[in-house]
Chain A
Amino acid sequence: MQTTGAASPAEGRRGSTSPSCQTAFRATWTQVQQATLTLLLLSVVTGIIYPLAITGLAQWAFPRQANGSLIHRDGRPVASQWIGQAFTAPKYFWSRPSATTPMPYNAGASSGSNLGPTNPLLAQAVQDRVAALKTLDPDNTAPVPVDLVTASASGLDPHITPAAAAYQAARVAKARGLDLQTVQQAVARHTARRTLGLLGEPRVNVVELNLDLDLLPR
């Protein structure tokens, strides 16, 4: 292989001006000024004007979404459309397990379990959750949909899969003294399809569904 020619461009680049100490200092001082001022000015643009402008536009165009998509009942906020809650009573559809602390579905401190797939604690937790579901619903011999016994990434997942809703529908109907069809219709009302028939996954909003069920006449 031939490697000819000037291989040391690191030398001789300051050849044009003889760098006396003073000019070097002045050049550095100019750089410090430019860096400081640019940081300040771009901070104002991207750190103050930009977020404030977006907030203003968002509050004007999408006030409900920008403030947490709260669901109101009788003029009071009762839940957020996007933040799940924990349910343990048989008459409610259960949400997915949540790993937030100190209580599940703590939307002030989102977190997943971070348990690895071979961690015995994960297997134990899943086993316990399956047992809890089976105890309340001994007649149900269907396999448990995996999302219903595994913790979500945020600990705040507002959704369960349609499979997980179908698994629980009979239990909820029995506990509420409703016929299965009424409960299934309520599930259907709160089931979202894939966006454009393509993106994401079909899902049931548990909070909206349970709020709705509480309003149904017996």
Chain B
Amino acid sequence: MTTNAFLQIGLYLAVLVALARPLGAYMARVYEARPCGLDWACHGLERLVYRLCRIDPAAEMPWTTYAQSMLLFNFLGFVAVYALQRTQNLLPLNPESLPAVSPDLAMNTAVSFATNTNWQSYGGETTLSHLTQMLGLTVQNFLSAATGMAVLVALIRGFVRRNAATIGNFWFDLVRSTLYILLPLSIVGALSLVSQGVVQTFRPYEQLSLIEPTTDADGKPAAKQTIALGPAASQIAIKQLGTNGGGFFNANSAHPLENPTPLSSFLQLLAILLIPAALCCTFGQMVGDTRQGWAVLAAMFLLFVPLLVLGYAAEQAGNPRLAAFGLDQVASEMQPGGNMEGKEVRFGITQSALWAATTTAASNGSVNSMHDSYTPLGGLVPMWLMQLGEVIFGGVGSGLYGMLVFAIIAVFLAGLMVGRTPEYLGKKIEAFEMKMASLVILIPPLVVLVGTSLAVATDWGRSSILNCGAHGFSEVLYAFSSAGNNNGSAFAGLNANTPFYNLALALAMLVARYWLAIPTLAIAGSLARKKATPITAGTLPTHTPLFVLLLAGVVVLVGALTFVPALALGPIVEHLLLVGG
């Protein structure tokens, strides 16, 4: 590891931890309806929303009503994004006169954004009008993130409440997540990004004369350059903060007008993990024991950092196949060296590898380099981070509720070992919770592995593959890992804009989102009804290093047992081929 890489990564992690605590405390105040400091700005708007939408924010909901409201709200969001895409040619703010989006692609994109996945089958600047981007995608970036946060808060209330039939009010959690947390952070983020050169304009695409005219693929001369523009910064801020990840432009955050400088990259990297990390502190605050939050966060770091370093090392080592052509791939003060195919010079290896690990640890899925061109081990890292269930930070809300389900599994395993009824945070973990927890950890692998098998077994699936051999298999495995864990990043060589992939991946995204959220809410409802179990000498403390290791171990064990065979067929075979010549 170069000194600079060490410092850049160290600075990033340090700033992240430093910000997690105050933001976590702030969010706890938001959800507990205590004064939080932004009431002067947000309270009036919040009251207005409740009044106009006929919501009584104090009306408590049992988990079933909470889940119904969530599903209904997300379904309407899906319908809105679908309708916008299908009619964008008739609607305003379409300066490039883009046609209506095809039904299967529109369906895929709508599911993708409603489920907080933000898988990109669409091409950004070549597919979607400004209005669709704003009123469809930007809105869902906010609301799908707020949905995830609401489900998490409901689960936390399940731990906190005693003998209660209800877990809060979905509308209250949704509206406050949006107005008090996501919107203020997005405003700051968007303006910071514009200052760096991210575009924010409604002008039509710019046409410039090239300095040196070039020729196109057919050999015809081309003297003009078209530069796509649009209201990008406002969308990118929330795309990162809400762990959405769907790009304004096709190349996502590798596009220079979406991410022009190392500083804009650093800010976006921070925004990706900021809320997921801070929510651990929120959790600790709300359950009345901050150590519980730190323990979960520590388990996340314990898994994240080694994988990040592995990915960095693989990319920095470069591509041995290219060494034969007399290339200089060694890092120096003059160049980052390493595997630069699919990477931008301003980010080099360090910010690219850091981003690849960050965006897949969180269920963000934006990219600042093309993962398909990564070395086999460099590509294995983001793939496995997704396959671990998007619980190492994970999506805003969804990551932590996934991790808390893993914590339930961990205390259950510990209980089996010592022969006691497992407890977590003073609540007995019993058969119902374990059934629901099993659903949460088993459904994503099922979706990923069945989907991948189906795709590689059929011509529909195989005909979209760009790269040959083991790498082609990795492309398919990556796609289903991404959709089946609501991440959204891609090995983008795979042509996913076909009816087969649009449908199969949309199905994977739907199952992975709601068949995790619904059992989680069921756990919340069940826990809330229970009385508190007094702590005794026999209780397993869940804030100790031992528990952190146990929790991380369970995550790795489930992820490794499930996915090592599939990984062996893809990146591991390819790695052996690469180093073996």
Contacts and interface: CB of A to CB of B under 8 A. Distances in A.
Contacts of A77: 206, 208
Contacts of B123: 109
Contact of B369 (A1, A153, A166, A207): A153
Nearest to B417: A1
Contacts of A116: 372-373, 467, 471, 474, 493, 574
A65 B195 contact: yes
B500 interface: no
Contacts, number: 435
A53 B431 CA distance: 51
B54 A37 contact: yes
Interface in B103-141: 123-126, 134-136, 138-139
A200 B228 contact: no
Contacts of B568: none
A67 B199 contact: yes
B516 interface: no
A7 B186 contact: no
Interface in A92-142: 92, 96, 101-120, 122-123, 126-127, 130, 142
- What size tier do the contact residues of chain A reach? 35 or more
A23 interface: no
Contacts of B529: 6, 9
A211 B211 contact: yes
Contacts of A152: 254, 342-345
Interface in B354-395: 367-370, 372-376
B212 A92 contact: yes
Contacts of A89: 212
Nearest to B221: A103
A57 B191 CA distance: 8
Interface string B230-267: 01011100100000000001110011110011110110
Interface string B198-232: 11111101101111101111100010011111010
Interface string A78-96: 1111111111110010001
B197 to A, nearest CB: 5
A83 B340 contact: no
Given A68-B229, A106-B225, A161-B336, A143 B326 contact: yes
B292 to A, nearest CB: 23
A168 to B, nearest CB: 13
A119 B200 contact: no
Contacts of B175: 38, 42
B335 A145 contact: yes
B250 A163 contact: no
Given A7-B432, A32-B72, A80 B52 contact: no
16 contacts: A13-B165, A34-B53, A62-B194, A67-B199, A70-B208, A85-B214, A86-B210, A86-B214, A102-B216, A110-B125, A113-B341, A114-B467, A115-B493, A116-B474, A142-B328, A147-B335
For the complex of A and B, 5 pairs with smallest distance between CB atoms: A200-B262, A114-B493, A153-B254, A201-B348, A110-B251
Interface of A: 1-10, 13-14, 16, 27-28, 30-39, 41-43, 45-48, 50-51, 53-55, 57-59, 61-62, 65-70, 77-89, 92, 96, 101-120, 122-123, 126-127, 130, 142-147, 149-164, 166, 194-195, 198-203, 207, 210-211, 214
Given A145-B328, A200-B262, 16 more contacts: A6-B529, A13-B63, A39-B76, A43-B80, A58-B191, A66-B233, A67-B229, A103-B217, A107-B227, A111-B250, A114-B491, A115-B466, A126-B325, A153-B368, A163-B332, A203-B346
